[in-house]
Structure 1
Amino acid sequence: MVSASREIAAEPEVIFELIADPAQQPRWDGNDNLTEAAAGQRVHAVGDVFRMMVHSGTVRENHIVEFEEGRRIAWLPSEEGKPPPGHLWRWEIEPLGPAGGSEAPGGSGSGRCKVTHTYDWTNLTEEKRLVRARATTAANLLASIDRLNRVLHYS
């Protein structure tokens, strides 16, 4: 398992919206693996499934297993029509209070959050995926957080 965290000056709801809307994910994916997702798949609850096209041209189904609006979302990816092999992507947003004078996107301009991105392969059952899973680093996850921050502040 690997995690990365960074403080972002933005309202938690605004950050969460970019994560919970799969159509936005290719804009900030630090692994450069996602190409597109159809609009209208915004996640609302555990049990939701969204589909994403990856660079190999295949579709991944992502099964929501954790969800707290504005705070936490996690999914288990799988090949289309197959059960998830056990690796999990999680995003957690912790409100920290005022942004210290910098304007935060969305809302009153007072939001500041700790954003944590985790990739957990401890329950991965497919041996063929373990090498790539173990190669995912905190730097990869931090790249997604940094790109998310750029989308929030410069789009």
Structure 2
Amino acid sequence: MSDESKKITVSRTIDASAKDLWDVLSNPARHVELDGSGFIQSDHKTDRITANGQVFTMNMSGAHMGGDYQTDNHVVGYDKDRLLAWKTAPAGTEPPGWQWVWELQADGPDQTTVTLTYDWSGVTDKALLQKVGFPLVSKDQLEDSLNKLAAAVSGS
């Protein structure tokens, strides 16, 4: 399988400034509002994301993990108002290779193209690949996350 077949990317233009979108994306407490997969339950005492190297923890739930669990999300891409990326791992472990990448391209003062990529090309553990059954999140669920971001930033 090529690396390109191990990622899903969706884009949408949202009628909001990159700054306003960033304000939502960089606040893990708001990620439950954006989750098209339904796995995120809440953040776990996290601070706003302000730099590479930060780790934020999320409370999750899903049958693929047997119910409730936590993830540690290691920030690996940070460019304020432009790029936010993190690698996800079961809490207390190192990331096994999948990541989430949000890219913001301002198209004017009140319009931004948002691109969301779910990338599992870095997962090399064959047993994990079979256990998780990547992709765990579908293209439709990612598109729903973009729709939810648009709703969150508009306040509706």
Please confirm whether the aligned pair reaches a TM-score higher than 0.5, indicating the same fold. Answer: yes
- The alignment yields a C-alpha RMSD, in angstroms, of 1.5
Query: What is the aligned counterpart of 1:76 among 81, 84, 87?
Result: 87
Matched, 1:26 2:32: yes
- Does the CA-based 8 Å contact 2:46-2:56 persist in structure 1? no
- Does the CA-based 8 Å contact 1:46-1:67 persist in structure 2? yes
Alpha-carbon distance between aligned partners in 2 of 1:3 and 1:47, rounded to the nearest angstrom? 24
* Shift of residue 10, structure 1, vs aligned partner: 0.3
TM-score by length of 2: 0.85
* Shift of residue 128, structure 1, vs aligned partner: 4.5
Per-residue displacement from partner, 1:26-59 (whole Å, max 9, x unpaired)? Answer: 0110111100003541111110000000013211
* Shift of residue 129, structure 1, vs aligned partner: 4.3
- Does the CA-based 8 Å contact 2:56-2:72 persist in structure 1? yes
Worse-matched range after superposition: 11-20 or 84-93 = 11-20
Q: Which residue of structure 2 aligns with residue 49 of structure 1?
A: 55
Q: Which residue of structure 1 aligns with residue 123 of structure 2?
A: 124
How do residues 86-105 of structure 1 correspond to structure 2 at under 5 angstroms? 86-97=97-108
- The number of residues matched between the two structures is 143
Alpha-carbon distance between aligned partners in 2 of 1:140 and 1:15, rounded to the nearest angstrom? 19
One-letter amino acid of the counterpart of residue 89, structure 2:
S
- Does the CA-based 8 Å contact 1:72-1:92 persist in structure 2? yes
TM-score by length of 1: 0.86
Identical columns (%)? 29
* Shift of residue 80, structure 1, vs aligned partner: 1.3
Matched, 1:16 2:22: yes
Secondary structure of the residue aligned to 1:85 is: coil
Matched, 1:139 2:145: no
One-letter amino acid of the counterpart of residue 150, structure 2:
N
Alpha-carbon distance between aligned partners in 2 of 1:14 and 1:154, rounded to the nearest angstrom? 11
Matched, 1:64 2:70: no
In structure 1, stretches of 5+ residues that fail to align are 98-109
